[in-house]
Structure 1
Amino acid sequence: MKIQLAQTLRDYDKKNLPKDMFAGLIIMAVSIPISMGYAQIAGLPAVYGLYGSVFPILLFALFSTSPQFIFGVDAAPAALVGSALLGMGIESGSAEAMSVVPVLTFWVAVWLLVFSLLGAGKLVNYISAPVMGGFITGICTTIILMQAPKLLGGSAGTGELPELLLHLWESLPGLNVPSLLLGLLALCILLLSKKIMPKFPMAVVLMALGVLLSKYLPLQTWGIATLSAVEPGMPEWSLPDLSAVPFVDAMTISLSVAVVIMAETLLAENSFAGKNGYRIDDNREIFAFFMGNSVAALTGCCPMNGSVSRTAMGEQYQAKTQLTGIVAGLSMIVLLLCGTGFIGYLPVPILTAIVISALLGATEFDLAARLWEVSRTEFFIFVGAFVGVLLLGTINGVLIGMILSFSEMIIRTSKPARCFLGIQPGHKHFRDLTESDQIHAVSGVLIYRFSSNLFFANIAVLEQDITDHITPETRAVILDASGVGSLDITAADRLGILYHKLKEENIRFYMTEHIAGVNDQLRKLGLGYMIEEGAVRRTIHIALKDMGYQRPYPLEGGVDNEERSASRKRADNRVQEFVWAFGKESEEQIEKQIALQIEQLKQTGDVEELLHGRWSHMEALDEDEWLEHLEEHLKEIVNISGKDEETLAARLETHRQEVHDRIALEHPELAERFKERRHLLDDHLKERRPEVYEVVVRMRQKKEQEKEIGEKYGRSSSNTEKRGRKKPEGGRTLDL
C-alpha cells in the first residue's frame, strides 16, 4: 500500500482557500460542544474532547484520501468505551478511567492497522446504497435524539432508541422553557437560512450572539446552561500503561470498537463520496484511522471516528479539501492556548441547535422516498438498516443491512431478466418479442434469453419458462446464454435433466452465445456430452442452421420474411422508436410531451414548434401519431394561439400528408401498412374528438377538390407550354 501525505492538497486550487479556511473555523467551533460531550460519555474529563480535536484530526487530514471527511471524537466509539468502563466497574471521570481509556484507544489503533494491512476496506463494496443511506440516516437520527434533551435543559442521552426515548421522557419534568425557546429559535433560524441563504455562516453569527447574550443577560439565572470553562494548555504526551487493562478484555473491547470505527466511517465516507462524485481508497482510509487513533492514545484521548455531523457542516459551507481539517486542528490549538475563556460563554441550546441542523442536512430520507417509488425491496433494506442502527446500535445496524442486501441480491438473481426472442421481417438480429408487434417468433422454435449466471436459486425459473411455452409445434429450444458467465452443480444437473426430457419429446435443445469458459465448466460439471452431441453451438444462427433453417427464417403465422435492402431495414427498424422507448406508456408519454409543448405555446406563441415535438428526429409512424394527438387538442391550440381553426387543421393535415408522401417515396413497402394504420388513427380520433374529426374531414375534402382542380389546370398549362417550346440543335428546350 503506497502512502502519500496530503493527497487532497496536491495541485491545490487557490480559489478554494477562503471556503476551506472558513469551513475549518466553523468546524472547530462546532467541535467544542460535540467533542466535550462525547469525551464525558467515554468516561474522560470534557477537556479531553478538545484535545482529541487537535492532533488526531491533523494526522487524519494528512493521510486521508477523502477531500471532505472530518475526524474526531464521536458518538459510537465514545458510547462503546463508556459502557465498557461501566462493565468493568470504573467510575466515569476518575483517575482509573483516565488510565484505562488510552489503553483501549491504543489497541483500537492496532486493530485498525491490522485491518488496513489485510485489505479489509473491500468489504464496503458489499454494502449497497440503500444500506449506506439507512445507516447514515440512522446515525444522524440517533445523535439528534442524543442531543435533543439538551434543548430542554437536560443532559445528552446515550444508548439506542429505547434508552434515548426514555431519557427524553425523563427530561420532560425538568423542562426549562427559556432553554427550549432559545434552542428552537436558533434551530428555526438555521433551517430557514439554509433555504434562503445557504452560503451565509449563520452558525457563526448565532454563536457570537450566544456569547453576547451570556455576557449581558442573566442566562444562568434563567436556567440556560453554558459550556463548562476549560483551563488553557495543550495535552501531555505519554505512552499508555498497557497493564491497566487485562489483555483479553482489552482485545475484545477494542476489537468491537475498531470494527465500528471502520464500518461506520467507511460507510459514511463512501456515502459522501458517491453524493459528491469522487472516489476514496478504502484501505488508505483505514490507515488514516490508525494514525488518528495512535496519536489519540498518546495524548490520553478516547477512540476517534469519522464525524458525520462535522462533515455535514463542512459540506454546508463548501469545504473542498482536507485543508479544512488542518485549519480546524490548528485553530483548536490557538483556542486551547489563548481562548478557553470564550468557551464558558457559549449557550448549550444554541450549540445543540447548530449540531441538530447539520445532522438534519445529512439525513437521506429523500433517498427513502425515491426507493419507495422505484423499488420497494430496496426501500425496506433502507428501513432495515435505519431501524437496525436506531434499535440495535451501529454495528448491528450495518450487519442487518448487509444481510438484507445479500438476501435482496439472491432474490434479484433468482428472478433475472429473461425473454423470448424473434425476428423483425427482413432483419437478421434477434430481439425481444414484446418489444414490438413487428417482431415474430421463428416457426417451431423457442429462442429464450436468460440474463444471469445459472445457479441453484434461478435454474427453476429457466425450466418453468421453457416448459410453459412448449407447444405441439415446437421443434427446438435455443437458449441464448450470452448473459451466463458461470453455473453451479445444481444448475448443471437440472439443465441435463431438461435436455434429456426435451430429447425424449423429439425437441432439440441448443445452448448458444455464451463465452468459451462456460464450455469448460460444462465439461467439469458432467455436461460434456451436450457439447459432443452438438447441442452447444456458438451462435443462434448456427443452431438454426443445424436444424436445417436457412435465412430468411420462416416466421410464425406465415409472416413474410423476405430479405430487404440495408436502407429499408434501417427505416423499418426506426419507424416506431417512440413506442420502443416508452413501451405501453407511449401514448401517455406523447400526451405528456404535447401538454408541455402547449404550456410553452402559452409563452412563445410558436405553433410551428408543436408540429415537430420535443422528441427530435421522430420517424414516420411516430410523427404521424404525434400529429394525430395534436389534432385532439385543436380547440385548445386555437384558443391559445388565436389562429383560425380551419387553417390550423389544414396545416396539420398537410404535414401528415408530407409524412405519408415521404414514407411512400423512400420505403414503398411500408406505404400500405402506413395507410392501414392511418385509418385506425382516424377511427380513434372520431371516437374521442368527433367535432375535431369533422373539421379534419372537411379539410381533406377541400384539399382533394383543390388537388383535382390543380391537376386539371396543370395538364392544360403543360400542353400550352409544350406548344410554346421548340428544340434547337443542342437538344436544350428554350422558352419562347
Structure 2
Amino acid sequence: MRVQPFQTLKHYNKKNLPKDILAGIIIMAVSIPISMGYAQIAGLPAVYGLYGSVFPIILFGLFSTSPQFIFGVDAAPAALVGSAIVGLGIESGTKEAMAAVPVLTFFVALWLLAFYFMKAGKLVNFISAPVMGGFITGICTTIILMQVPKLMGGTAGVGELFELAEHIAETLKTINLPSLVIGLTALFILLVSKKVMPKFPMAVALMAAGALMTRFLPVREWGVQTLAAVEPDMPEWSIPDFSAIAPKDAIITSLSVAVVIMAETLLAENSFAQKNGYKIDDNQEIFAFSMGNFVAAFTGCCPINGSVSRSAMGEQYQAKTQLTGIVAGLSMIILLLCGTGFIGYLPIPVLTAIVISALLGATEFELAVRLWKVSRTECFIFIGAFFGVLMLGTINGVLIGIILSFTEMIIRTSKPARCFLGIQPGHQHFRDLREGSQIHAVEGVLIYRFSSNLFFANIGVLQKDIEEHIKDDTKAVILDAGGIGSLDITAADRLEILYKSLKEKGIRFYMTEHIADVNEQLRKLGLGYLIEEGCVRRTIHIALKDMEINRPYPLEGGVDNEERSASRKRADNRVQEFVWAFGSETEEEIERQIVLQIEQLKKTGDVENLFHGRWAHMEALDEDEWLEHLEEHLKEIVNISGKDEMTLAGKLEAHRKEVHDRIAKEHPELAERFKERRHLLDEHLKERRPEVYELVLELREKRKE
C-alpha cells in the first residue's frame, strides 16, 4: 500500500504544457461561480468555495493517479453537508455553520483514510450504475429545486421535495421580475451554448457580463441581489473546533459523505480511464481524496469531491496531466490575492443559472430512458434511488442506494440464466432447446445448464427447475455446471437432497463440465462421495457414455439422428445473416441500408450493385428479403436511374428466380421453406406497395406464357 506521488507528472512531455496550462486557467475561471454556489449550499459563505479550490485541488493533483480528473467543491458533498447542517438545527451561513462544516470535513477525511487502509475501493464494484445514476440525479434535482427560488429573487430552499415545493410556491408570491429575467436568460444561453459551442467557457463570459451589468446598470435598485464583496485574502489555517458539533452526529453524517465521495469519484474516474485508455490505482485515489479533505478541513472548507463537470471541461481543452489541477489551484491563489474586487458585482441569478446548468448536465435521466428499454428492473432501481434521495433526503438516499445495490445483486444471482439442452440431429454440440424446433432432447435424459455460482438464494431455482421437468421416462439428470464456480453450504445441502430424491426414484444424477476447483469444494462440503460414486464427470458426453448411451444419441420422438454430410450441416446451421446480426431490428436495418445504397445510386448510377446489398456473402433467404425491400423502392429507383420500370422489375424477378433455383439445387430441403416465405413476403409487398405487387404479378404471368 505504498503511496507514490507525482504519478501523472513523471516523464512529463513538454508538448502538453500549453494545453495543461490553458485548461487549468479555464477550469479555475469556471470554478469561481460553481464553487461559490456549492459553498453556499454547504452552509458556508461563498468565498469558501474559492478557498476549497486552492490547496485541496493542488494536494489531490500531487497524489492522484488519474491524469484527467479534477478535485473541487462539488454538488453531492455540498448537498449532503448542507442538509445535515440544517437537520442539526444550524442556520446556513452563520458562525455556527462555519464552525461545524470543517469538523464534518475532518471526519470525512478520517473515514476516507480508513477506507484507504481497508482497501475499500473494491466496494464500488457493488454499487451499480442504475443506483449511482438515480442517486446522483436525485441529488442534482434536489439542489436544482433548492436553487430555483434564487432565480426569482428569493432565498435557497431547504429540506426534501415537499418542503422545497412549498418554498418555491411561497417565493412565487414575491417574485422579482428582473431577477427572473436575468436568471432565465442566463440559463437559456448556457443550455444553448452547450449544444452549439460546447468548448466555449460560456459560464465565464456570463459571469463577466453580469459583473459589467451590475457596474454600469442600476441592477441592485431593480431588486437583483449580488454576492457579498470578498476582500483579497488567503484561507486561514486552523484546527477545526470539535465542540461545534456532537461527535456522534459528526461521525454518522461524515460516513455517508465519505461513502458518496469515494463511490461517485471512483466510478467517474474509472469511466474517464476506460474511455481514454489508461488505468488508475483505486486505493491511492482514496488516499488522495483523504489528503485533499484534510487540507479542506484545516482551511475551513466543506468536503471536496471529484468534479465531473470540471474534468469534462479539462478533457474538452485536451488536458493531459494533473498539472492542469495544480495550475487551476495556483491561478486561484492569484485571483484571491489580486482579483477579488469583481466578485461583489456578480448577480446571484446569473450565479444560480450557472449552478443549475452544471447540475442539469450532471443528471442522468437519459440512463433511466435507456434502462426502461433494456431492463425494467434496473429502471425501477434507478427510480427508487432517485426518489429515495428526493423525498427522504440525501443521507437516507445513500442508505437506500446501498441497499438497492445489494438487492439488485441478489436478485440477479437468484435468477440466473439457465436452460435445458438438446441436440440438433446429425450434430454433436448441446444447445438450448428453446433455440428452435430443430433442437431435440436426448431420450430419457434431462440435461440442465445453470449459469451462476450456487448459493442459498438460487439453489431453490435449480432444484425446482429439475423437479418440474422430470417425466415418467426420465432415466438421468445431467447438470451442466460449466457456469458454476463455487457453492455454499446451503447449496451443497440442497444438492444432496436433490441427489437422494432422484436416487429414490431410480433416476441417476450427474454433475459435469465444471472447473476442477468445484470438486475440491464438494469434498470440503461433505459431497465427496458423489465423486467416488461416479456422479461427477468431466463432460456431458462422458456422463452419457457412463449410462451406455452412445453416439448418435437417441432423440425424443424417434427423431432421426444419423450423421449428416458436411454440406447438410452447413445447410442446417444456416442462419439468416441479417436476423443473426440485427435481431428485432432486421427490417429497419435492411431498409436503412437500402436507403443508403439508393443515395449511392444517385452518385454512381450503378443499379446492379443494389441487387446484392452491402454484405458480400448474403445468405439466399436474406437476399430474397433484400429484393423484396428493393421492390418497395422501385419507383424511386426508376426516377433516379432513368431505367424503365418494367425492365427493373423484370431484373428483380429474374434475380429472385436465380436465388430460388440456387436453393433448390444446393439445398432442396430448404426449397419448400423458401416458397412459404416467398408467399409471406408477397403479402407484405401487396400491403405496402400494391401497385408494385400488381406489376410483379404481371411479370410472373408473362414468364409462365
Q: How high is the TM-score relative to the length of structure 1?
A: 0.84
Give the deviation of 1:380 after TM superposition.
Answer: 0.9
Q: Name which of 676, 697, 703 aligns with 2:700.
A: 697
Q: Structure 2 counterpart of 1:680, which letter?
A: E
Equivalenced residues, count: 695
CA distance in 2, matches of 1:629, 1:93: 68
Q: Indicate the larger mover: 510-519 or 629-638.
A: 629-638
* Unmatched tracts of structure 1, length 5 or more: 703-736
- Which deviates further from its counterpart, 41-50 or 171-180? 41-50
Pairing partner for 2:594 from 580, 597, 601: 597
Structure 1 counterpart of 2:607, which letter? V
CA distance in 2 between partners of 1:294 and 1:562 (Å): 75
- Aligned residue number for residue 464 of structure 2: 464
Deviation at 1:132, TM superposition (A): 1.7
Partner of 2:573 in structure 1? 573
Tell me the CA shift for residue 101 of structure 1.
4.7
**In structure 2, distance between residues paired with 1:229 and 1:674:** 83
Alignment of 1:10-25 (within 5 A): 10=10, 20-25=20-25
Paired amino acid for 1:385: A
- Contact kept, 8 Å, 1:537 with 1:543, in 2: the verdict is yes
> What fraction of aligned residue pairs are identical, expressed as a percent?
76
Residue 361 (structure 1) shift: 1.5
* 1:482 aligned counterpart, secondary structure: coil
Q: Which residue of 2 aligns with 1:678?
A: 674
Whether contact under 8 Å (1:65, 1:285) holds in the other structure is yes
Query: Taking structure 1 as reference, are residues 88 and 664 closer, same or farther at Cα in structure 2, changes over 3 Å only?
Result: closer
Is residue 555 of structure 1 aligned with residue 555 of structure 2? yes
The one-letter code of the counterpart of 2:700 is: V
Q: What is the Cα deviation at residue 182 of structure 1?
A: 0.8
Give 1:363 deviation, angstroms.
Answer: 1.4
Contact 1:103–1:297 at 8 Å: present in 2 too?
A: yes
In structure 1, C-alpha distance between the alignment counterparts of 2:566 and 2:549, rounded to whole Å: 22
AA of the residue aligned to 2:323: L
Query: How far 1:142 sits from its partner (Å)?
Result: 2.2
8 Å CA contact 2:627–2:652 kept in 1: the answer is yes
Q: Secondary structure at the match of 2:222?
A: coil
Residue in 2 aligned with 1:186? 186
- 8 Å CA contact 2:186–2:350 kept in 1: the answer is yes
2:448 matched residue in structure 1: 448
Letter of the structure 2 residue corresponding to residue 349 of structure 1 = P
One-letter amino acid of the structure 2 residue matched with residue 676 of structure 1: E
Q: Which residue identity lines up with residue 593 of structure 1 in the other structure?
A: I
Question: 1:449 aligns to what SS in structure 2?
Answer: strand
Query: C-alpha separation between the residues in 2 aligned to 1:295 and 1:686?
Result: 75
Residues 1:5 and 1:40: Cα distance change in structure 2 (over 3 Å): same
Distance in 1 (CA, whole Å) between partners of 2:405 and 2:301 is 36
Match of 2:214 in 1: 214
* Alignment-mate amino acid for residue 28 of structure 2: M
Instruction: Evaluate the alpha carbon distance shift between residue 272 and residue 640 of structure 1 in structure 2; reply closer, same or farther with a 3 A threshold.
Output: same
Mapped to 1, the partners of 2:172 and 2:207 lie a distance apart of 26
- Equivalent position amino acid for 1:694 in 2: L
Once the two structures are TM-superposed, the CA of residue 312 in structure 1 deviates from its matched residue by 5.3
Cα distance in 2, alignment partners of residues 246 and 445 from structure 1? 67
Contact 2:70 2:310 in 1 (8 A): yes
State which drifts further: 209-218 or 95-104: 95-104
Q: Which residue of 2 aligns with 1:477?
A: 477
Contact 2:634 2:649 (C-alpha < 8 Å) held by counterparts = yes
1:574 partner SS:
coil
CA distance in 2, matches of 1:327, 1:542: 67
Gaps of 5+ in 2: 687-692
Change in CA separation of 1:444 and 1:240 when aligned onto 2, cut-off 3 Å: closer
Q: 1-side partners of 2:252 and 2:579: how far apart?
A: 61
Do the aligned partners of 1:131 and 1:405 also contact (CA within 8 Å) in 2? yes
What is the aligned partner in structure 1 of residue 344 from structure 2? 344
Distance 1:13 1:33, change over 3 A: same
* Cα drift, residue 291 of structure 1: 1.3
- Indicate the residue corresponding to 2:502 in structure 1: 502
Q: Which residue of 2 aligns with 1:708?
A: none
Is the Cα–Cα contact under 8 Å of residues 31 and 310 in structure 2 kept in the other structure? yes
SS at match of 2:536: coil
Residues 317 and 155 (structure 1), Cα distance of their counterparts in 2 relative to 1, 3 Å cut = farther
- Residues 634, 645 of structure 2: 8 Å contact kept: yes
Q: Which has the larger radius of gyration?
A: 1
Q: 1:126-145 CA distances to partner (integer Å, 9 max, x unpaired)?
A: 00111121122122222222
Per-residue deviation, 1:198: 1.8
CA–CA separation in structure 2 for the residues paired with 1:698 and 1:91: 89
Deviation digits for residues 285-344 of structure 1 (CA, Å, limit 9, x no counterpart): 221122112222333334333345544555566655433322321121111111111212
Give the root-mean-square deviation of aligned CA atoms. Answer: 3.4
Q: Tell me by how many angstroms 1:283 deviates.
A: 1.9
Residue by residue over 1:570-629, the C-alpha shift from the partner in whole angstroms, topping out at 9 and shown as x without a partner, is 45423545455566x4xx724651464146325515433333234442234443454466
Looking at structure 1, the residues matched to 536 and 309 of structure 2 have their Cα atoms a distance apart, in angstroms, of 58
Whole-Å separation in 2 of the counterparts to 1:492 and 1:97: 56
Matches within 5 A, 1:228-239: 228-239=228-239
CA distance in structure 2 between the partners assigned to 1:646 and 1:43 by the alignment? 79
- In structure 1, the partner of 2:690 is none
Q: Distance in 2 between matches of 1:46 and 1:685?
A: 69
**Amino acid of the structure 2 residue aligned with 1:7:** Q
| CA apart distance, 1:74 | 4.0
Within the alignment, does 1:427 sit opposite 2:427 as a pair? yes
* CA distance in 1 between partners of 2:68 and 2:642 (Å): 57
